[in-house]
Structure 1
Amino acid sequence: MVVYSGKSVFGGIAIGKICVYAKEDSQVKRERIEDPEAEIKRYHEAKDVAIEQLGVLYEKALKEVGEDGAGVFEAHQMMLDDGDYIDSVENIIRTQSVNAEYAVAQTGDQMAQMFLDMEDEYFRGRAADVHDISERLIGVLSGKGSGGIQTDEQVIIVADDLAPSETVQMDKDKILSFVTVHGSANSHTSILAKTMNIPAMIGCDIPLDDTVNGKMAVVDGFEGKVYIEPNEETMAAKKILYEEEQEKKALLEQLKGKDNVTLDGQHINLYANIGNTKDLGLVLKNDAGGIGLFRSEFIYLGSQDYPTEEEQFEIYKTVAQTMAGKKVIIRTLDIGADKQADYFALPKEENPAMGLRAIRICLTRPEVFKTQLRAILRASAFGKIAIMFPMIISLEEVKEIKGIVNEVKTELDDAGISYDKNIELGIMIETPAAVMVADELAEEVDFFSVGTNDLTQYTLAIDRQNDSLEKFYNSHHPAILKMLKMIVDAAHRHGAWAGICGELGADLTLTKDFLAMGFDELSVSPGRILPLRKIVLETDVSEYKKSLNEANP
């Protein structure tokens, strides 16, 4: 038995044979051509084919992993149509009289290096996207296939790295797990793995040769280990873990339809986070009580220009009607930082996470803000909608926001347009400043929703997208937990309710603590609803509080 270690991307146990996924040799030869214009035409024809391929992949991914996971293929289509990319390829063909394959390879290498030279981890990660679209183009130009797995049995995929297009093309029925030598926790592949619920590891020191290919193995996504040809004792232990996981999934299905009430009668709302209407199926399938975070910025990110009031209204209306009276909390646009839309023409910033983003854009571009508010308010006539404002730091901001909301309400009243006149208004608590003035803020709003991702980042002064700082990043830091208690207490003192919509809300090791703190709501990815419900139903909060007091007298 040989054991290899790596970083877990998604937990779970997989048992099966290993299939080393070897990419086709993409080495490109430089060839002189006689007719550059004919070669440029050949390039554009290949580009159109590649864009069509990506469209097929998008539709396939949409069915399997939802809009957030499929979005990468739309992004790749846009990259293939990027003016700078096209100009570079055409220029190399014309000036050097070389084949399109070579021009594409050169352009891809140059642009990927440009991204790798950037300090921001997010943009560094886009180098892989440039390589992916370039390899796809070269494949079309050279007549090579799109790859895949040639196997009739279920296997554990082992590879150097996996591009999103490779991951989604794989037949999920034949994939037990995947393990890669490279990759990052923020890569599209990691995101897809989580969405597809496939046990996965990255950064594994496993060889990519016949020493592992075809061998029986176990991937333990909880430990972050791969066992090659495990001994009888190890195999028996891992089979027990696997069977336990399957039993847990079956038991969770039985929790659908049950109220989220603890053993001692404390109720909590379990809502879902979504990015668009295509996620609604998962929300209903997992029995969420409502939508605690509708990330409206994805409407903007998926558009070539500012979405109109009517376009937004139809989306919000669809969500409200589909949820049939269950609460839908829409967060106003959270553009900026790592979420950029070119048509906003935001200035380049040294530290975008602390720059012009979210509510700051709304308050400096009131017409964009009012267009969204009109659409949301109009949609509120068709369901139970609430509005949530991100990145709040002061009481003055909240008062300015409420003033703009009232202006829009007056405009709708004057036009005789219906809307929910008692619509709830809430704010996200994701800055230390908001925590410190939470009592003042609670007097002005109906609810708080804690964005734990940014709150942790700003409190610990750690860029959460910087993998090199992972050692220092601690979402369970005592300062964060104390802040959470301060937030919920401030809300309740002034008659507001408090929830969590950040990733920490799905941390099952903290669910009892959130109940003890008194949170009224947890909003998580749809797949985490039932595991959370299980803990809620099994918890006696009063007894848990007693145990905490005894442990910390």
Structure 2
Amino acid sequence: MLNVSGIAASAGIAIAKAFILEHPNYSVEKREINDVDAEIAKLDSALGKSQAELEAIKERTLQELGEKKAEIFASHLLILNDPELIDPVKAKIADDKVNAEFALNETATQFIEMFENMKSAYLQERAADMRDVTKRVLNHLLGIEFMSPAEISEEVIVLAEDLTPSDTAQLNRQYVKGFATNIGGRTSHSAIMARSLEIPAVVGTKDILAQAKQGDMIIVDGLDGHVLVNPTDDVIAEYRSKQEQYDAQRAEWRKLRDEPTVTVDNVHVELAANIGTPNDVAGVLENGGEAVGLYRTEFLYMGRDKLPSEDIQYNAYKAVLEKMEGKPVVVRTLDIGGDKELPYLDLPKEMNPFLGFRAVRLCLDRLDIFRTQLRALLRASVHGNLRVMFPMIATLGEFREAKAVLLEEKEKLVAEGIAVSDSIQLGIMVEIPSTAVLADQFAKEVDFFSIGTNDLIQYTMAADRMNERVSYLYQPYNPAILRLVKMVIDAAHREGKWVGMCGEMAGDETAIPLLLGLGLDEFSMSATSILPARSQITKLSRADMQELAAKALDMQTAEQVVELVQSIQA
């Protein structure tokens, strides 16, 4: 048995066989061939195997997820059997004497480009289907053994170098019981998504891919940050017991689902959830969330070949607002850049993308993208309690410019006779130190602040949160960070504005007493963290925590602050 250590990213225990996720290389070389019949037979064989796979996937999807989800695979089968695609491929093999994979790739690329340039949204979407089908056939032509996360049909633990947003979007919680990655930290995309999906995860193991192979029995301990490879029966039994104890603790927390979050001295704070898609709202409500404190809209833009239309966005925002039934929903406008890319935007590579052309900076430059999103949000605003938040704001000028664009789009919609809510709050994420320092001026113009600690910490400490070699500098409890948080909260309260926090720090057991003492109004976290946080806060006194926070602010190191908090938790 091997015990690989990493970072506990999402709580829980998972036990299942390993599924190694490695993305294949689909680069194709042109080769001259002599036997045309043999090459066409190779293509026919690859098409036949692809057909059998798709029919099996379609049937399984129909049984498990319903007819609508199965429709995509029916579309793939139509493409696979379309003579408009297959006949030109065979003609190219025969006429140009080229290998099947090159002929397929060249022909399919022409169709994909044609579809992408069509005005019809339906035909544009066919480009993505064509691309998926082409990759499936290429797998067989190139001898690549690859199964996408969407095709997993048995209980597994996914092992990967890292998980991209499109990977996580395809994970089926019914079968993916947990995952472990070589790289990443508690605030990396894969860790955040694990908590949203409510599956155990360990990240930053460095070498789990080297230590495990396909089909190995794996235990992911998302409580203590361990991955066990091929454990003995006794160890499996021990971890099943640990899993049962954790499940019992969760059952106790669930009793608090419909209770208010009130301290022992009768101070109410709001516990909200961070979400990425409309489907995540179910988890918010199941865990007693009082609001959505962060809706990461960038996931609407990922896993597709072009920008989502205004109607696609409107339907997503409307769904979230309606499902939350009047509870506040804070929607962050597009935050692309840093560790999140959109291939179809073809943005230039940057030396330091976290400090570069991202978030509101991109939106104010690409107003076509920004205006489409704002129109969709404004149209959806009548369906619930919408609050709009601009990310990565560094100057008052940026906020004023973004607000002006929103007000322009509102005016246009009203002129078109489209209803728009008049009670939309406009706020900003505080994730840049200069914004925290100037919070007293921002507070005069915004309706609220939401502190994004994931980036605020890395920018304040000058330490890339994705770089494991400087991970020791990612210090949420450093007095410098606490002082910035206090500065923002105090500035907002002086102007009668509220302050939330949507970084991972908001759900951290050590940070919660400090944040309560600093006066934070709203704590937004992964849905699975809400009930443990509620249990913790209802046992604390705001007055006592104010004294605790005052002591922490005068300390010299993060370690001293942790010891201080632990002294009251003992």
Task: State the TM-score, normalizing by the size of structure 2.
Answer: 0.69
Aligned to 1:387: 388
* Structure 2: gaps spanning 5 or more residues: 25-30, 70-90, 106-133, 556-570
- Cα shift at 1:371: 2.6
Q: Partners in 2 of 1:252 and 1:49 — Cα distance? A: 48
1:512-527 → structure 2 map (5 Å cutoff): 512-527=513-528
Describe the SS at the equivalent of 1:305.
coil
- Cα shift at 1:229: 7.2
2:200 to 198, 201, 222: 198
Aligned to 2:77: none
Q: Partners in 2 of 1:217 and 1:308 — Cα distance? A: 42
Q: Partners in 1 of 2:400 and 2:148 — Cα distance? A: 56
Distance 1:426 1:40, change over 3 A: farther
Distance 1:220 1:299, change over 3 A: closer
Describe the SS at the equivalent of 2:389.
strand
Describe the SS at the equivalent of 1:449.
strand
Q: Is residue 458–residue 465 contact of structure 2 (8 Å, CA) maintained in 1?
A: yes
Q: Is residue 179–residue 220 contact of structure 2 (8 Å, CA) maintained in 1?
A: no
Aligned to 2:87: none
Is residue 249 of structure 1 aligned with residue 254 of structure 2? no
- Cα shift at 1:441: 0.3
Q: Partners in 2 of 1:174 and 1:307 — Cα distance? A: 29
Q: Partners in 2 of 1:288 and 1:160 — Cα distance? A: 31
- Cα shift at 1:251: 0.3
Distance 1:534 1:366, change over 3 A: same
Q: Partners in 1 of 2:228 and 2:335 — Cα distance? A: 39
Q: RMSD between aligned alpha carbons?
A: 5.3
Q: Partners in 1 of 2:193 and 2:272 — Cα distance? A: 22
1:275-294 → structure 2 map (5 Å cutoff): 275-294=276-295
- Cα shift at 1:342: 3.8
Distance 1:213 1:339, change over 3 A: closer
> Which amino acid letter does the alignment assign opposite residue 516 of structure 1?
G
- Cα shift at 1:534: 1.1
Q: Partners in 2 of 1:171 and 1:382 — Cα distance? A: 29
Aligned to 2:40: 38
- Cα shift at 1:383: 1.1
Aligned to 2:110: none
Q: Is residue 265–residue 542 contact of structure 2 (8 Å, CA) maintained in 1?
A: yes
Q: Partners in 2 of 1:278 and 1:547 — Cα distance? A: 39
1:355-434 → structure 2 map (5 Å cutoff): 355-434=356-435
Q: Is residue 8–residue 222 contact of structure 2 (8 Å, CA) maintained in 1?
A: no
Q: Is residue 517–residue 548 contact of structure 2 (8 Å, CA) maintained in 1?
A: no
- Cα shift at 1:520: 0.8
Is residue 4 of structure 1 aligned with residue 3 of structure 2? yes
Describe the SS at the equivalent of 1:250.
helix
Distance 1:364 1:353, change over 3 A: same
Q: 1:334-368 deviations in whole A, cap 9, x for unaligned?
A: 12233222443433322222222111122223343
- Cα shift at 1:434: 0.5
Aligned to 2:493: 492
> Which amino acid letter does the alignment assign opposite residue 538 of structure 2?
L
Q: Partners in 1 of 2:173 and 2:324 — Cα distance? A: 30
Q: 1:152-201 deviations in whole A, cap 9, x for unaligned?
A: x99x9797989999999999889877778x56559998677653523657
- Cα shift at 1:250: 1.0
Q: Partners in 1 of 2:183 and 2:367 — Cα distance? A: 40
Distance 1:158 1:357, change over 3 A: closer
1:319-330 → structure 2 map (5 Å cutoff): 319-330=320-331
Distance 1:513 1:141, change over 3 A: same
Q: Partners in 2 of 1:266 and 1:520 — Cα distance? A: 10
Q: Is residue 429–residue 448 contact of structure 1 (8 Å, CA) maintained in 2?
A: yes
Describe the SS at the equivalent of 1:370.
helix
Q: Is residue 173–residue 199 contact of structure 2 (8 Å, CA) maintained in 1?
A: no
1:15-164 → structure 2 map (5 Å cutoff): 34-35=35-36, 38=40, 41-42=43-44, 45=47, 52=54, 138=139
> Which amino acid letter does the alignment assign opposite residue 197 of structure 1?
I
Q: Partners in 1 of 2:169 and 2:277 — Cα distance? A: 20
> Which amino acid letter does the alignment assign opposite residue 222 of structure 1?
D
Q: Is residue 9–residue 193 contact of structure 1 (8 Å, CA) maintained in 2?
A: no
Q: Is residue 9–residue 225 contact of structure 2 (8 Å, CA) maintained in 1?
A: no
Aligned to 1:353: 354
Aligned to 1:128: none
- Cα shift at 1:5: 3.8
Is residue 262 of structure 1 aligned with residue 263 of structure 2? yes
Mean Cα deviation higher: 240-249 or 275-284: 240-249
Aligned to 1:73: none
Distance 1:3 1:385, change over 3 A: same
Describe the SS at the equivalent of 1:427.
strand
* Structure 1: gaps spanning 5 or more residues: 68-89, 105-132
Distance 1:163 1:136, change over 3 A: farther
- Cα shift at 1:501: 0.8
- Cα shift at 1:507: 1.4
Q: Is residue 43–residue 100 contact of structure 2 (8 Å, CA) maintained in 1?
A: no
Distance 1:517 1:47, change over 3 A: farther
> Which amino acid letter does the alignment assign opposite residue 331 of structure 1?
R
Q: Partners in 2 of 1:12 and 1:272 — Cα distance? A: 16
Describe the SS at the equivalent of 1:4.
strand
- Cα shift at 1:333: 1.2
Q: Partners in 2 of 1:389 and 1:163 — Cα distance? A: 26
Q: Partners in 2 of 1:457 and 1:441 — Cα distance? A: 22
Q: Partners in 2 of 1:260 and 1:3 — Cα distance? A: 42
Q: Is residue 50–residue 140 contact of structure 1 (8 Å, CA) maintained in 2?
A: no
Distance 1:368 1:542, change over 3 A: same
Describe the SS at the equivalent of 1:538.
coil
Describe the SS at the equivalent of 2:538.
helix
Distance 1:43 1:319, change over 3 A: farther
Q: Partners in 2 of 1:424 and 1:277 — Cα distance? A: 21
Q: Is residue 31–residue 99 contact of structure 1 (8 Å, CA) maintained in 2?
A: no
Distance 1:230 1:143, change over 3 A: closer
> Which amino acid letter does the alignment assign opposite residue 199 of structure 2?
N
- Cα shift at 1:236: 9.9
Aligned to 1:224: 226
Q: Partners in 2 of 1:227 and 1:40 — Cα distance? A: 39
